[in-house]
Amino acid sequence: MTSFPSLFHRSRSTWHGSSCQASRRRLTRPWATWISLGFLGCLPNSTSAIPAFAQVSAPLASPSLHSLATDFDSNNPPRPTEWRSQVPQLLPTEDQAAPSPAWQPITLTSNWASDTTDSDDTSDSDGWRAVGGSNSNSNTRGFSAPTPIASRDSALSQEADPWVQTVLAEGQKLANGDRWSEALSVYQAALRKAPHSSTLLRQRQTARIHVDLRHRLHDAKYLAYAQGDSVDMAWAHLNEILYKIELNHLEKPNWTEIFNHGLRSLVIASDYPEFQTHLWGRERDDETRQKLQNIQNQYAGMSIRNHTEMTHAVREVVGELQTQVGLSPSITLHELAATAASALDTYSTFLSPSQFDDLNSQIRGNFVGIGVELRSQPEYLEIVKAIPGGPADRARIRGGDKMLAVNDQAVSTIGPDAAADLLRGSVGSHVTVVVETPEGKQYRLKLERARVEIPSIEEAKIADAAHGIGYIKLSNFQKNTPSDFDRALLQLQAQGLRSLILDLRDNPGGALDAAVAIVDRFVSQGTIVSTKGRSFAENMTYAANANSPAANLPLIVLINENSASASEILAVAIADHRRGLLMGERTFGKGVVQTILPLTSGRGGVRLTTAEYFSPTGQRVEMQGVQPEVVVQTVARPNLDGPTNNGQATSGETAADTVLEAAIRRFTQQAQFQPSVPAPTVSSRDSDSTYSRSPN
């Protein structure tokens, strides 16, 4: 099965991943299909059940809702225009025709078959930035299946490329089976090879509409305010989102595309019985569907140039939908608001209240659930690993086990996405699962959901005691990563650490500040990373601290095609400063920053792509990745848990790790030709005293 991680990046606040001192946070991960945090990026073969989130620290100054609804003129936005000369290749001047975006959206979507996070813990600030993109999407739920759009679009017959035809056939098969998150993963992975295929782009957008829609229809908070809001409140909600897009997105908004995308989403939503029951209040018949199609076609040729014209167009279509099909104006406005951001790029998205709460929990490094990492299979959920100390771990669930049923519902019957969703719940609630071991034994277990700490350091050990070679595996970047890393370094030093292998393989990213803070442990001067966006506020430079605790520690960094976003920031900074050696394979190539902007009244938030990041020497990472200095092909992923099944590696596991072995050989060969020197000293540091940031 195909699955994908999610990437976050932190903002100017100290929270691209570590600490938060300013007003917003940035993420550096490709999106997970789950939250597609928004997240939730698309990396193959690593569906994780752990959400990745970011947190906000201080509210952003913003106009009142009244001014958002009545006073904003997008022709005269309240910001200077001279900045354009300082942001090359990102935006045209006023008298130029808009070129295609300087960056191409990455098709990164993680399938987070995830436990749930507790929604009681809310954020206390108004926005944060992320690099990369946990983007957009979440696992599909156990919904009644509408007629698949894929079969109606006849995309297969329109595509001439045989390889793309094969991908479309696979995606259409998944869509026809109501497996939209898997279809989305297929399309996003394919778009990395064929980024300009209009057919793939449209099919991905269709799949994303379904995945996002199911998030909303599953979110009780969203349904409650969509049903209960007055028309004025719904207008204020829509205008707040449009205002944030106008001021913050990396590219000047294509208002026509935003409007058409919203109408298309409404037509698709009308196919869902859940939408008909909870939001429309009626069943849709063929005549009604035809009326919806006619309204969509009627407005398809409309050109919308700015926010004001967008408002006028929305006002017209709201009236048409109310008159012809009986759709409430407030429902139309909320649905258009929820789809506006996803029309912008792969990573930008609306975050429903539950998604937004999940995102905050992930940034903190914990979530509520049973504590397992899952990979979707057609007939079951594969347990990739149980998080140490979590309910599943305490129940002796292990990697390689199969989850066959959840709450007495067979995974083969309801589907892996719906089954994964049943694992979600609040602290103290219970879930019953049927687990099968590799030996074929089945157990029925009743587990109590609890808050689970997500470790960012998967393993820390001395890999070669004779030469003092240490090994640290970083699985993600979150708020506690710098302090955890410092503790691991000190522990390894006590065991005779003389050189270090830092493993970033399959690390999808996370908080930008966390990645910057780790670089700062090894680099004592110069730029670590810089970001450039359409707004002055996005143009930042992160510089190293002169007090780097491991500045003299010999270093090798391991990377592969699934190392993304924050991982790439760390890797390219180490390479540019010639501070260590990169080994492995070219990285994913996610070089854009997302900002998470909370919405008022606790109604979720939006994740917007707001900037692109650059290496210390000015290199772009977006769609290019980071090339290792020593290329070593991966033969097998590291078996960090040791042998299983009576000492034998289970299916899919291999103890051999050619990349790690090559790194160890590199250090041992160097040691043979170097005189004996004292072990470098690694000093402790307060995780809050780190690099410096300054405007560009």
359 vs 365: CA distance, rounded Å? 10
657 vs 506: CA distance, rounded Å? 14
Name the region of 170 (left: φ>0; alpha: ψ -120 to 50; beta: rest): alpha
The active-site residue out of 590, 615, 657, 687 is 590
DSSP code, position 167: H
Six-digit token pair at 235?
A: 């207008």
Torsion of CA 562, 565, 566, 570, to 10 degrees: 80
CA distances from residue 278 to 233, 257, 351 in whole angstroms, order as listed: 19, 27, 19
pLDDT for the residue 26: 52
Q: What separation, in Å, do the N-terminal and C-terminal C-alpha atoms of the chain show?
A: 43
Complete DSSP assignment for 408-422: TEEHHHH-HHHHHHH
Which residue blocks in 477-561 are alpha helix, DSSP H?
481-494, 512-522
Beta strand 581-584 with 592-598 is unpaired
The active-site residue out of 576, 615, 657, 687 is 576
* Residue range(s) of every CATH 3.90.226.10 domain in the chain: 457-695
Q: Which positions ≥6 away from 677 have C-beta within 8 Å?
A: none
517 vs 482: CA distance, rounded Å? 6
CATH 3.30.1360.200 fits 366-453, yes or no: no
Judge whether 565 counts as a catalytic residue. yes
pLDDT for the residue 233: 94
Residues of the chain with pLDDT under 50: 1-25, 28-153, 636, 638-654, 676-677, 686-690
113 vs 406: CA distance, rounded Å? 13
What CATH superfamily classification does 457-695 receive?
A: 2-enoyl-CoA Hydratase; Chain A, domain 1 (3.90.226.10)
185 vs 2: CA distance, rounded Å? 6
For 216-252, b where at least 16 C-beta lie within 10 A, e where not — what string?
A: bbbbebbbebbeebeeebbbbbbbbbbbbbbbbbbbe
pLDDT for the residue 635: 60
pTM for the structure as a whole: 0.71
pLDDT for the residue 526: 95
Please tell me the chain's helix, strand, coil percentages from 3-state DSSP, rounded to the nearest 5. 35, 20, 45
68 vs 48: CA distance, rounded Å? 38
320 vs 337: CA distance, rounded Å? 17
Dihedral pair phi/psi, residue 236, rounded to 5°: -60, -40
569 vs 550: CA distance, rounded Å? 18
CA atoms within 13 A on the CB side of 644: 17
Six-digit token pair at 281?
A: 């209040």
434 vs 468: CA distance, rounded Å? 44
Beta strand 26-27 with 592-598 is antiparallel
pLDDT for the residue 511: 86
Per the CB < 8 A criterion, the answer to whether 541 and 694 are in contact is yes
* Residue range(s) of every CATH 2.30.42.10 domain in the chain: 366-453
The active-site residue out of 565, 567, 615, 687 is 565
